[in-house]
Amino acid sequence: MSRWEATLQRLWRDHTRPSRLTHVHRVPGGRGLTEDWPGWTSPSLVERLAEAGVAAPWAHQVAAAELAHAGSNVIIATGTASGKSLAFLLPAAAAVEGGGTVLYLSPTKALAADQLRALEELAPPGMRAAAYDGDTPGETRAWVRAHANYVLTNPDMLHRGILGRHAAWAGFLRRLRYVVVDEAHRYRGVFGSHVAQILRRLRRVCARYRSEPTFVLASATAAAPEETARRLTGLPVRAVTDDAAPRAALSFALVEPELTGQAGERGAPVRRTATAEAADLMAELAREGVRTLAFVRSRQGAEVVAISAQRALSEAREHDLARRVAAYRAGYLAADRRGLEDALRSGELLGLASTNALELGVDITGLDAVLLTGWPGTLAALWQQAGRAGRRGEDALAVFIARDDPLDTYLVHHPEAVFGRPVESTVLDPDNPYVLGPHLCAAAEEIPLTEGDLEVFGPAAEPVLADLVDRGMLRRRPRGWFWTRRDRACDLADIRGAGGPPVQIVDAESGQLLGTVDEAAAHGAVHDGAVYLHQGLSYVVERLDLDDGVALVHGANPEYSTWARDVTEIEILSTLREQRWGDTAVCFGDVRVARQVVGYLKRDVRTGSVLGEQPLDLPERTLRSRAVWWTVSTEAEQRLRAEGVELRGAAHAAEHASIGLLPLFATCDRWDIGGVSTALHADTGLLTVFVYDGHEGGAGFAERGFAAAREWLTATRAAIATCECTDGCPSCIQSPKCGNGNDPLSKSGAVRLLDEALGRAVAGR
């Protein structure tokens, strides 16, 4: 019996926790398989690695290193802590020893800083490694360009600071042997599509300096890694996926918090929040000396978990333990962040609550247990988070705590959807014209584009180029396409999709900068009246000034959290694909979406129950995107009406639940997509349910929904039909961001409507 079975038993059976432990899955541990160092690895590097505790490489590290060394593009897609860095370090070290250079790309500065620290400690012979990012001081930059042979940067810096000044990098680029793309699975959706185009621009600039670097990608476990890597780089890529690293055994528990007896919106039953459950578990585990990391979806949630766990320990007069719990998230300033990272590494901290930001960069190895409060967006991310647990081969514990939403509730009752399924592949769409256009402009500014370059950017580039010429962005001349404007073309592409500079969050009293939030997210996160939490302190937003990009806040201690709501209208521009199931049509195509944050809800922090609603006056944002939508025939509508089904409520409920379940089939999260439903849509003339990508030009999520439509709507029906509530609740058909206050909604109607859509027998229902 593993140590965790005893712990789980103590927690659930002896303490009789009211939440439900629905399932425990055991992942057996495994012994590692080592191999000899590749013959071309220098003896002094082998010596230094041995001093650092690496006696021999794992088989997958050697396989990937050998492929890269032989000049084959390679992606290594293996588990967390399987030593992917060594796989690219070996060929990279050989390259710099032979006079070549290496460009290392990571999605975050934190990860690059970690890598640099490790390289400086190891000091491979002849390697001059340096970071080149937004924090690199001006005087250091010239040194890096002239002397470094291993440069660590990020796609943003490559896009804005390196490609456009390629002449200053001529010496480096001419000798470029490897491009390392670390954490490649993070390049998904619109961001991934941008990075794919940046890598194409890099290849083109390299060709100008007659270098053709080999791409080495490192990724979390994902399906079809060759295909993802090919989309990302535009090149054929081999994959190494056999993980030969030793693995700690893992106990993976699924937990459903109990119904509280509180009444939520429209009297619906409300579950205890996942954050409250996580805080409790963190306090319990801290008492047992278990080092625990809780991953929480929102920045507010991470703060709530830390505060509540501290409070629970303090109330039990365990002040020493309470001091050993903290929160961490991406928006913190660098100094705050590093302090927490060090404390966790040293074991001074026992409990840390974090947003997914920690998933990146920080190489934390001393953890016993991981708490996952809600679905982290993808199965790959779920395993990556769970993989954080496991100290020196000891058994590890992961606990998935369901949030009160359709997907999480579905998962804790369908463990096969978590444990019996291969991880999904990474979704990105480099051909998105909204992404491609700005990068073609940037490429033309770097070096005028020629017909030959179309091979690099693919067939989708041709119509986009014609459009750019029509719009006066590029000039067509006999020798190619030219950027002749005075401004910088790279300003056209906002690669993180944030839609403008981040909004600064400033304490109105002290004038202190507390953190930042993306402009696109600001309407929902720091609107007037929003509750904002920072380092255990809570603030209320006095005023969001969109013109100045500032949200002024003041310290306050409300017992509620805030949830923004928006209203949305949608118009079909064109239908790209269609499938029919009997009379049901399922379509995929281009749409225009008009969206506006119109108000917010206040919810009790501890119980989740709704306290009230406030209107807001924010500008509308319009979006050209892609959507999947489905309709049922007028005959089906008549049948439903005859049974007394309220069509608007049925469609609305089906829309909410299907948005909740889509992340299971497309690698999006609930906030990447939106929905609209109506009993009669002007463009279809029928009852229609839309789910759209929340990003300009689409990100491939709606397309995945279209491809998996049958499975997706079947799971949606199951999630609604099997929910234990009677008339609908947040675990099935209610949505926290519904613009219509979750009205009308019909639970039984949604099940019947989905039966009609899926073409099921109506008898007996």
* Interacting residue ranges for Zn ion, rule: CB under 5 A: 723, 725, 729, 731-732, 738
H-run or E-run covering 132? none
Q: Which is nearer to Zn ion, 418 or 725 (CB)?
A: 725
Q: Which is nearer to Zn ion, 314 or 609 (CB)?
A: 609
Query: CA 146, CA 173: separation in Å to the nearest integer?
Result: 11
Residue 653: CB minimum distance to Zn ion, A:
9
The dihedral through the CA atoms of 225, 226, 229, 230 has a sign that is negative
Query: CA 325, CA 349: separation in Å to the nearest integer?
Result: 6
Q: Which is nearer to Zn ion, 166 or 413 (CB)?
A: 413
How do beta strands 150-153 and 101-105 pair? parallel
Q: Which is nearer to Zn ion, 151 or 738 (CB)?
A: 738
Residue 723: CB minimum distance to Zn ion, A:
3
Extract long-range pairs of 754-758: CB within 8 Å, 24+ residues apart. 754/654, 754/713, 754/716, 754/717, 754/720, 755/717, 756/584, 756/632, 756/636, 756/639, 756/640, 757/581, 757/584, 757/630, 757/632, 757/636, 757/654, 757/713, 758/581, 758/584, 758/710, 758/713, 758/714, 758/717
Token pair of 563, please? 């949830």
Token pair of 230, please? 């090919």
Q: Which is nearer to Zn ion, 189 or 374 (CB)?
A: 374
Residue 268: CB minimum distance to Zn ion, A:
7
Q: Which is nearer to Zn ion, 268 or 506 (CB)?
A: 268
Token pair of 382, please? 């779920």
**Does a cis peptide bond (omega within 30 degrees of 0) precede residue 744?**
yes
Q: How far apart are the first and last CA of the chain?
A: 46
Query: CA 620, CA 598: separation in Å to the nearest integer?
Result: 9
Residue 676: CB minimum distance to Zn ion, A:
9
Query: CA 500, CA 20: separation in Å to the nearest integer?
Result: 44
Residue 732: CB minimum distance to Zn ion, A:
3
Residue 662: CB minimum distance to Zn ion, A:
15
Q: Which is nearer to Zn ion, 54 or 567 (CB)?
A: 567
In terms of phi and psi (left: phi > 0; alpha: psi -120 to 50; beta: otherwise), the region of 368 is alpha
Residue 652: CB minimum distance to Zn ion, A:
6
Q: Which is nearer to Zn ion, 565 or 606 (CB)?
A: 565
Among residues 495, 402, 456, 423, which one has the least CA distance to residue 194? 495
Within 10 Å of residue 763's Cβ, how many Cβ atoms?
5
Residue 647: CB minimum distance to Zn ion, A:
15
Q: Which is nearer to Zn ion, 77 or 729 (CB)?
A: 729
Q: Which is nearer to Zn ion, 266 or 287 (CB)?
A: 266
Radius of gyration of the chain (CA): 26
From residue 710, alpha-carbon distances to 56, 706, 716, 751, 757 in Å are 48, 8, 10, 15, 10
DSSP state of 258: P
Return the amino acid letter for 276: A
Residue 300: CB minimum distance to Zn ion, A:
22
Q: Which is nearer to Zn ion, 474 or 725 (CB)?
A: 725
DSSP state of 522: H
Residue 665: CB minimum distance to Zn ion, A:
20
Residue 646: CB minimum distance to Zn ion, A:
15
- The answer to whether the beta carbons of residues 7 and 288 sit under 8 Å apart is yes
Among residues 149, 152, 125, 119, which one has the least CA distance to residue 52? 119
Residue 585: CB minimum distance to Zn ion, A:
22
Among residues 548, 505, 504, 605, which one has the least CA distance to residue 276? 605
Q: Which is nearer to Zn ion, 494 or 755 (CB)?
A: 755
